[in-house]
């Protein structure tokens, strides 16, 4: 009830206050420039205007300059990944290709790559060092490498001699025969041990072979 009794007093105080008058102002006109200020970097690249007598020449020259700047920026963007490399990759130690230690390192890299080619060996060596005359030295090492030489060599193929006239024409077997002996061979006849020889007959036309047993090397034993 006390709160309801205080309400008329509050209403009276609000009625005694003067109304707030808001002053209406007209719309202000704000002007913005419509011309964009040119970049200072572009202005520095524009050639001297006083040296041109035609507008077309000035446009062509300025376009060439801006195109050159754009290409340079593209090259900088392409070279950004190189900045992530370590110091040895950017500035590798320089080794002389004529030194014995350098040749040993190239040979070791070549063996580590399981006797790879020259280009693969060169690329692997350049990951750590810059070697002078590396291509010439690497090719010389690979040329002297024994496993690589074995891998490069092809199997030899033997070519037979040309047939003679007596073999080129058709003939019956054994018109001409060669004879030879080999032995002695030990054979047992009963309880005795004897020597025997083998007679080898070769047909010179067909290269056929015929074997016979000879009791000795005498002429009588060779007569069939």
pTM of the prediction?
0.37
What does the domain layout of the chain look like in residue ranges? 88-152, 173-222
Reading the chain (224 residues) residue by residue, the pLDDT tens digits are 545 555 566 666 655 665 656 555 555 555 555 555 555 555 555 677 777 777 788 888 888 888 887 777 666 655 555 556 667 667 788 888 888 989 999 999 999 999 999 999 999 998 888 899 999 999 999 999 999 998 888 777 766 666 666 555 666 776 778 888 887 888 888 888 888 888 888 887 777 888 888 888 777 777 66
Closest-CA residue to 57 (of 67, 47, 66): 47
Handedness of CA 88, 90, 92, 97 (dihedral sign): positive
Q: Which of 199, 204, 201 is nearest to 173 (CA)?
A: 204
């Amino acid at each position: 009830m006390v709160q309801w009794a205080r309400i008329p007093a509050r209403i009276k105080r609000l009625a005694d206050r003067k109304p707030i008058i808001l002053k209406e102002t007209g719309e202000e006109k704000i002007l913005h420039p419509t011309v964009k200020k040119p970049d200072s970097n572009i202005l520095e690249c524009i050639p001297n205007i006083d040296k041109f007598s035609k507008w077309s020449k000035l446009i062509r020259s300025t376009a060439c300059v801006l195109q050159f700047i754009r290409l340079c920026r593209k090259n900088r963007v392409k070279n950004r990944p190189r900045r992530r490399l370590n110091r040895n990759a950017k500035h590798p130690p320089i080794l002389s290709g004529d030194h014995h230690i350098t040749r040993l390192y190239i040979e070791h890299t070549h063996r580590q790559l399981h006797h790879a080619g020259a280009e693969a060996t060169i690329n692997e060596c350049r990951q750590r060092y810059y070697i002078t005359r590396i291509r010439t030295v690497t090719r010389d090492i690979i040329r002297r490498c024994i496993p690589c030489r074995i891998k490069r060599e092809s199997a030899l193929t033997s070519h037979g001699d040309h047939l003679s006239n007596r073999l080129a024409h058709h003939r019956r077997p054994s018109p001409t025969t060669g004879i030879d002996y080999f032995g002695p061979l030990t054979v047992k006849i009963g309880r005795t041990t004897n020597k025997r020889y083998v007679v080898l007959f070769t047909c010179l036309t067909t290269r056929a072979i015929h074997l016979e047993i000879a009791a000795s090397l005498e002429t009588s034993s060779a007569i069939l």
